Structure 1
C-alpha cells in the first residue's frame, strides 16, 4: 500500500476530497453519540419512537434515492456535493437552535432528520461517484482505504469526545459541531479541481429509462447483484442492531454517555485497523473473499451482545462483552468497506456510477429504515434478547447470500 499512498499524494484534488471527508466524519462521529442520547434521555423516547426517529433520516432514500441517483449522472457532481453538504449543515444546525428556543420535541427532531436525509441522498451519491473522476481506477482501493481510515479515526475519537461533550454541554450543542463540520466540508470540496465530462448531461433521455438502466446494471450483474443483496440485508440488521443497542445500553444497563461513547470508540479503533489492512487483504485474497470473510464476523459479534442481554446482568463482564463485540464489528467493517466500494466503482462504467450508487444506497437506507423501526418494535414486544437474536439471524443471511455467489472469486488474482 505504501507505493499507492505515495502516488495518491500526487493526485490533484484527492487531498481536499480526503480532508473534507475526514472533517465530516469527525462531526458525524460526535452526532452518533449525541443523537441517541438526545432521543433517549433528553426527549425520553420509547423504543418504538427511537426506531421511528432513527428511520426518519433513511426514509428519503426510499422516496428519492433512485430519482437522485439518475440525476447525479446528468449533472456535474462537485457542485451537487457542495450544496448537499451545506444543506446537511443547516439541517443539523436547527436542532440546537430549536432546543434553545424550547421548540424541540420528538417529532420536530424526526422532521429535521428527514430533511437531513434528503440532502444526504444527494451527497452520498455525488461523493461516491466523484471519487473515480479524481483518482485513477487502479488507485481506488487505496483511496477508499484512506477515506475509511479517516472515518475509523473519527469513530475512535469522535464518540468519546461526543460522550464528554454531551456530559458537559448537552446533546443539542454537541450536534452543532457536526453542523459546522458539514459547512467546512462544503468549502473544502469547492476547492477541488476536477474535470467532469459534459457527456454526463443527457437532456434527451428520460429519467425513467435512466433509472431502469441503473436497476438492470446493478441487479443483472453477476457480481454486483449478490453483493448488493447481501449489503441490503446487512443494513437491515445493522440499523435494527444499533436501535436496540442504544436503548439497551442507555436505559437497560443505564450506561453513562461517556461509556456508551467509549464502546462505539472501540469499534472505531478496530475499524481503523481493518481499513489499514483492507488493501493488502483485497490484493492477497481478492475483494470478494475479503468481503465475505468480514461479513462472517458480524453475526459472531452480535451473538455475543445477545448473550449479554439474555444474561440480564449490568456488571463489568457484560460491559466488557459489549466492548469486544464492537471491536469485532469495527474490524469487519474496516476490512470490507474499501473493497466493496472499489469493486463497485471498478466494474461500473462512469456513466452509470450515479445510478448504481443511488440504487444500492436507496435500497440500503430503505431497509435501514425498516430495520430501525422493526428493531424497536420487536424490542418493545419481545424484549432485548429476542430482538438481538433476530438481528444475528439477519446478519447470518447476509453472509450466506454473499458466500453462495460468484462474489467468491471477484477480484481474485
Structure 2
C-alpha cells in the first residue's frame, strides 16, 4: 500500500539465497508483483494452489455425499460441519507451541500427506459398501486436524521466507490462488461429482495433497527454519508458551477486537455452511452441477477482491475495508434467505454468493496481513494458532445450532438470522472497536493500537467501506 511504510524490523531476509528474487524486471511483474520470481515462494504458492483446487472437490463432495447419498437431516449436516472445525477448538491453542518448537516445512508436508491418506478412506468405504455418516464425521475431523497444523505452519514458514514487508503481496497472491480455485474448481467439482459420484471425486483431493507434499520437498532448508523455541516441552512450558500468545492478543486492542468479532462471525458462518447445501438441493431444487456453477460465480468475487484489496485499503484505510467486507457478507446472507424456488433462483443465489465471497476475501486478506505484521517473530506460531483457535472457538457450536435451528425453524429462516447477526456485529465493531480508525497495518511494537484518525466526513464511499 502506498501509505504503509515498509516494516523497519524485517526487510526481505538476506538469508534466503535459494529463494532470492531476481533483480531483472519481468513483464508479468505488473500483474503478479515480484514475489513470484522467488523460488521458495513460487513453490509454496503453486503447492497451495493445487490443494485449494482439490479442496473445492471435497468442499462440495462431502456435504453432497451426506445430502444425496445418505439423506442426512439438517442436524446431521450440522454435526458434519462441526467435526471439521472441532480440532481447532480442541487443539488450536497449543498448535502454535508445536509450530514454534518444530521446523515448519516438515509440518506442512506431513499434514498434506495425512489429509491425503484420510480422504482415501471415503471412496474406499463407498466401494466396499461401508459408507455412512460416522465415516464422514471421522474424515471431516481428521482433515480439520491436519488443516490446523498445516495452515499455521504454512503461514509462519511463508512469513520467514518472504519477510514482513512483502506480506500483503504474498497474501494477495494466495488470495489469487484461492479465488482461481473458487472460480474454476466448483465447476470441475460439480462435473466430477455428477460423472463419478461424490465419494469417488474426493479421491482427486487426496491426490492433490500428495502432489503438494512432493513439491514442497523441493524447498531447501535454511538456518532461518530453526525452531524459535528449544528445549524439552512439559505441560507447564506448553501452557506458558500458549499463554504468551494469549497475553499479546489481549494487550493489543486491534487483535483483541478482531478476535471476538471474528469468533462471532464464524459462529454465524458455520451455522450457514451447515445448511446452505441442503437449502440449495431441497428448497431450491438445484443439481450438483448447478451448485458447482454457483460457486464458480462466487469465485469471481474472490478474484475481484484479490486484485482490488490494496487499492481499497489505500483509499479507505485497512480497518474500514475489513468492516465493509463483513457488512457485505451480512447483506449476502439476507439476500440468500429471500430467494425462493423459481427460474431465477440460480442467478439470484449466484449473485449473493459473489457478494459474500468478495466481502469475505476483502476482510481476510487484511486480517492475515494484520495478524502477521503485528506479531514478533518469536511469537508468530503461537499467535497464529491462538488467533485461529479464538476465531473458530464458537464454530462447532454454530454448526450444531445451524442444523438444529434449521430443522426447527426452517433453512431459510436460519440463514436470515445469520444475516441479521452479522449486520449487528458490524455495527458493534464500528461503534465500539478500533477498526474504523486503522489506516495502516500495525507493527509488532504497536501493541497499544495503531494511529487513529478523526471520523471522516460522511460520504457514500466511506459509508460503503464501513
Give the TM-score normalised by structure 2: 0.84
Deviation, structure 1 residue 134: 1.2
- Deviation larger for 194-203 or 156-165: 194-203
Deviations along 1:309-354, one digit per CA (max 9) or x if unpaired, are: xxxx311233322111101011112322211111110111111111
Paired residue for 1:249?
280
Q: Quick check: 2:186–2:296 contact (8 Å CA) kept in 1? A: yes
- Deviation larger for 195-204 or 291-300: 195-204
- Deviation larger for 145-154 or 215-224: 215-224
Q: Quick check: 1:82–1:189 contact (8 Å CA) kept in 2? A: yes
- Deviation larger for 314-323 or 115-124: 314-323
Deviations along 1:370-409, one digit per CA (max 9) or x if unpaired, are: 2111101001011123211221122124323432311223
Q: In 2, distance between residues paired with 1:3 and 1:283?
A: 18
> Is residue 2:422 matched to residue 1:395?
yes
Paired residue for 1:366?
393
Q: In 2, distance between residues paired with 1:358 and 1:335?
A: 21
| 5+ long unaligned stretches in structure 1 | none
1:7-406 alignment to 2 at 5 Å?
A: 7-193=34-220, 195=222, 196-198=224-226, 200-203=228-231, 206-308=237-339, 313-403=340-430, 404-406=432-434
Q: Quick check: 1:11–1:134 contact (8 Å CA) kept in 2? A: no
Deviations along 1:33-88, one digit per CA (max 9) or x if unpaired, are: 11111010111110000110111111111111111122111111111111011101
Q: In 1, distance between residues paired with 2:114 and 2:77?
A: 24
Q: Quick check: 1:287–1:340 contact (8 Å CA) kept in 2? A: no
Give the direction of change, closer, same or farther, for the CA distance of 1:113–1:295 in structure 2 (3 Å limit).
same
- Deviation larger for 44-53 or 30-39: 30-39
Deviations along 1:290-323, one digit per CA (max 9) or x if unpaired, are: 1111111111111111112xxxx31123332211
Deviations along 1:228-250, one digit per CA (max 9) or x if unpaired, are: 22211221111111222111111
Give the direction of change, closer, same or farther, for the CA distance of 1:317–1:3 in structure 2 (3 Å limit).
closer
Deviation, structure 1 residue 218: 1.7
Q: What secondary structure is seen at the aligned counterpart in 2 of 1:191?
A: coil
Q: In 1, distance between residues paired with 2:202 and 2:41?
A: 28
Q: In 1, distance between residues paired with 2:264 and 2:153?
A: 23
| 5+ long unaligned stretches in structure 2 | 2-28, 441-450, 452-466
Paired residue for 1:410?
438
Q: In 2, distance between residues paired with 1:36 and 1:113?
A: 10
Q: Quick check: 1:28–1:178 contact (8 Å CA) kept in 2? A: yes
Give the direction of change, closer, same or farther, for the CA distance of 1:211–1:401 in structure 2 (3 Å limit).
farther
Q: Quick check: 1:77–1:126 contact (8 Å CA) kept in 2? A: yes
Q: In 1, distance between residues paired with 2:187 and 2:366?
A: 28
Give the TM-score normalised by structure 1: 0.95
Q: In 1, distance between residues paired with 2:45 and 2:425?
A: 30
- Deviation larger for 198-207 or 153-162: 198-207
Q: Which of 1 and 2 has higher RCO (CA within 8 Å, sep 6+)?
A: 1
Deviation, structure 1 residue 3: 6.1
Deviation, structure 1 residue 21: 0.8
Structure with the higher fraction of residues in helix conformation? 1
Q: In 2, distance between residues paired with 1:286 and 1:191?
A: 39
- Larger gyration radius, structure 1 or structure 2: 2
Q: Quick check: 1:233–1:397 contact (8 Å CA) kept in 2? A: no
Q: Quick check: 1:58–1:365 contact (8 Å CA) kept in 2? A: yes
Q: Quick check: 1:69–1:356 contact (8 Å CA) kept in 2? A: yes
Q: What secondary structure is seen at the aligned counterpart in 1 of 2:393?
A: helix
- Cα RMSD (Å) of the superposition? 1.8
Give the direction of change, closer, same or farther, for the CA distance of 1:74–1:44 in structure 2 (3 Å limit).
same
Q: How many residues align?
A: 409
Q: In 1, distance between residues paired with 2:227 and 2:176?
A: 33
Q: Quick check: 1:229–1:401 contact (8 Å CA) kept in 2? A: no
Deviation, structure 1 residue 207: 0.4
